[in-house]
Structure 1
Amino acid sequence: MGQTVILFLAANPDGTVCLRVDREIKKIEQGLRVAEQRDCFVFKTCQAVTVPDLRRAMQQHRPQIVHFSGHGDGAAGLCFESGQGKIQFVQDEALAAFFSMFSAEVRCVVLNACYSEVQAEAIARHVDYVIGMSDSITDQAAIAFSVAFYESLGNSESIESAYKFACAEIALLGLKEEHIPKLIRRHAAEERNIVQPFVKSEIEHIQRLVAEDKLEKALAEFLIFAASADAEIKQEVIVHQAALAKAGKERRKGLMDTDKEEQMRNKVRYALLELLNEQAARQFEN
């Protein structure tokens, strides 16, 4: 079974208000454990996060959902930690450029930090769904939002639906901050349950990517949507990803000519189309 990786990043630099990040992590983990689709999620954490930590964690875990818990200061940026534990602001355009390199894998970014809407809008140029805060938000409301959002995803809700449930949770608790979280949807993003099995529209979407020779993106999206696929299928897709990456690297070093690289891409193209046809046949049988 394919799994959705949630990468939880937290930063609470010296001189900022102390946040109950440990409580937020614990409650999210508890919510996911009781969710009906709990086996479809892997929850990874990285605390006291610095800019190098962000890069390393993204490269290591290749998440589909990225969550930042910390402080924000509007246009000044999100507050990461420096090597000395002090504030290091990271601004919107830098974050947008960074996430553009992971746009084939990341489906949703949650910025659970005050005044983070400006960063959310920038990142949403490259990621389907981004949540940011339009104002200052209390720790209690921020944690309530996170727990309800991820538990809803774990109970087969779409990202948009999970967002609505999370805002409703804040309102039901009487915190009067339900208007602060803002969901920004990238233009042309299709609403999908992040762990649902393949459906016809998803198969057609990936087939279009293959036809456009966007094989790397097609393979990445196959993995994201293949929650119902068995481990053998998932491993086959990972092998194809590695083959494409190796071929591209060898061509750039002059160790492989363009024709050989194209042969490799054609081989992967036909294999992926065959996997998609198998998924389509299974849907027809069901």
Structure 2
Amino acid sequence: MLSTSYKSQIDTLLKRVAGLRDDQRRHSEASFKAAQNAQRKREQAAKSRSASSARSYLQQADQDTRNALAAEKRANDCAKKIADIESQVTSKQKSLQNALKQESDRADQALAAKQRASDRETQRRRQDELKHARELAKLARPEVRHVMVPAPQPEKLRILYLTANPDREQPLRTEAEVSSVLRELRGTKYRDHIDLQVRPAATPKDLLDGINDIRPHVIHFSGHGDDGLLAFDNASLDEPDSVIVEFDLLAELLNATDRPPTLLVMNACRTLHGSDVLLEAVPVLIGMEDSVGDAAAGVFATQFYSAIASGQPIGVALRQAKVALKLALMKQDAELPQLISREDVDTERVSLVSDQGVSA
């Protein structure tokens, strides 16, 4: 319903309230006046020496009392109607506020759409002008035959995906997380520009080898962590155990290359605390503010890389992952993933992949 309709209804209701208040005041005055008359007649009856006159006064007093009660009842009825209509006014005012907000939102959307159309038209004219200038330049220079050399293929976004699950008492579903991410990537816009390499049961040596062999733009660790450390695998088949790598050493490891990664994702418990030191090696990193469960870790990773592979900036991809956690009824986990970056990096604008390949 339009806001003008709600305003009209509210005005009509307020006029009814005003009329009822006049009626209520009139009935209250009549009740008060009748009660005074009744009191006065009873006083006259008490003073009268004639029995018949006293009875007449009392009869008149009784009638005035009935009139006072009737007028009071009409005043009370008016008060009830006023309360009911005021409740309707309150409800209509809420509906009016909602209608005004919706109309404002639609107006903003229409203005934004108009601006986008204007921007597209401006871009089209510029392209036409550039095309015309190129055609004129081509006509002005002599024809030269060139050997056509194929353009180089765009570089793929390389992701080194490390999983470690050496703790038998606290097993993790890292395989399910990786499987979900791979399935999601197959349907993304820039799936052909993504090269995701998985290293299960990853050791610190796997990280070093991956940095040398893959030269990753993104390094993702999924496993156990804690304040200031990650737990890698020891690669033992007989006695699996954790190899603790503290963030100071991890920063040195990530820096020990001529091409450090752009993004480090630590999908492990409490990896946000103390991670500032890692900014010396990578410009952007994502960690977990507190403990995170298997399901939440899987939902986060799946939506985050789906957004990255669709060309979304890092900051936007993280917000999408948080929304996905809320949609999966994990609202309490939605704020666990947090992003920190160097001061000169605008994560709301930095996209890792586009139709031209890697943009990191």
**Superposition TM-score, scaled by structure 1 size:** 0.66
Deviations 1:129-161 (A, max 9, x none): 100011001110010000000000111101111
- Residues of 1 paired with 2:320 and 2:311: CA distance? 12
Q: In the alignment, is residue 43 of structure 1 matched against residue 201 of structure 2?
A: no
Residue 356 of structure 2 is aligned to residue 188 of structure 1: no
Shift in alpha-carbon separation, 1:42–1:71, aligned structure 2, 3 A: same
CA contact (8 A) 2:250 2:278 kept: yes
Aligned partner of 1:27: which letter?
S
* Other structure's SS at 1:44 match: strand
- Are residues 1:124 and 2:291 paired? no
**8 Å contact 1:93–1:122 — kept in the other structure?**
yes
2:232 is the alignment partner of 1:80? yes
CA radius of gyration, larger in: 2
Partner of 2:333: 177
Q: Which residue of 2 aligns with 1:260?
A: none
Q: Is it true that 1:107 corresponds to 2:262 in the alignment?
A: yes
Change (3 A) 1:55 1:11: same
1:137/1:7 CA distance change after superposition, 3 Å: same
Structure with the higher fraction of residues in helix conformation: 2
Distance 1:105 1:92, change over 3 A: closer
**2:55 is matched with which residue?**
none
Q: Could you say if the C-alpha distance between residues 181 and 102 of structure 1 is closer, same or farther in structure 2, counting changes exceeding 3 Å?
A: farther
Query: Residues 197-212 of structure 1: matches in 2 within 5 Å?
Result: none
Whole-angstrom distance in 2 between the partners of 1:119 and 1:66: 18
**Equivalent position of 2:91 in the other structure:** none
| Distance in 2 (alpha carbons) for counterparts of 1:47 and 1:25 | 10
Deviates more, 1:181-190 or 1:103-112: 103-112
Q: C-alpha displacement at 1:23, in angstroms?
A: 0.8
Q: Does residue 1:96 correspond to 2:246, yes or no?
A: no
Match among 173, 195, 219 for residue 20 of structure 1: 173
Q: TM-score, normalised by structure 2?
A: 0.53
Letter in 2 for 1:116: T
Specify the alignment match of 1:57 in structure 2.
210
8 Å Cα contact 2:254/2:260 also seen in 1: no
2:201–2:235 contact (8 Å) kept in structure 1: no
Q: Is the 8 A contact 1:120 1:131 kept in 2?
A: no
**Structure 1 counterpart of 2:159:** 6
Identical counterparts, % of pairs: 29
Task: Return the alpha-carbon distance in structure 2 between the equivalents of residues 88 and 79 of structure 1.
Answer: 5
Q: Which structure carries more relative contact order (alpha carbon 8 Å, separation 6+)?
A: 1
User: For residue 72 of structure 1, what is the amino acid of its counterpart?
Assistant: G
Alpha-carbon distance in 1 for matches of 2:245, 2:277? 12
Amino acid at match of 1:192: V
Indicate the residue corresponding to 2:123 in structure 1: none
Partners of 2:214 and 2:156 lie apart in 1 by 12
In the alignment, is the contact (CA less than 8 A) between 1:126 and 1:186 conserved in 2? Answer: no
Aligned position for 2:316: 161
Query: Do 2:202 and 2:235's aligned partners in 1 also have CA atoms closer than 8 Å?
Result: no
Tell me how many residue pairs correspond in the alignment: 201
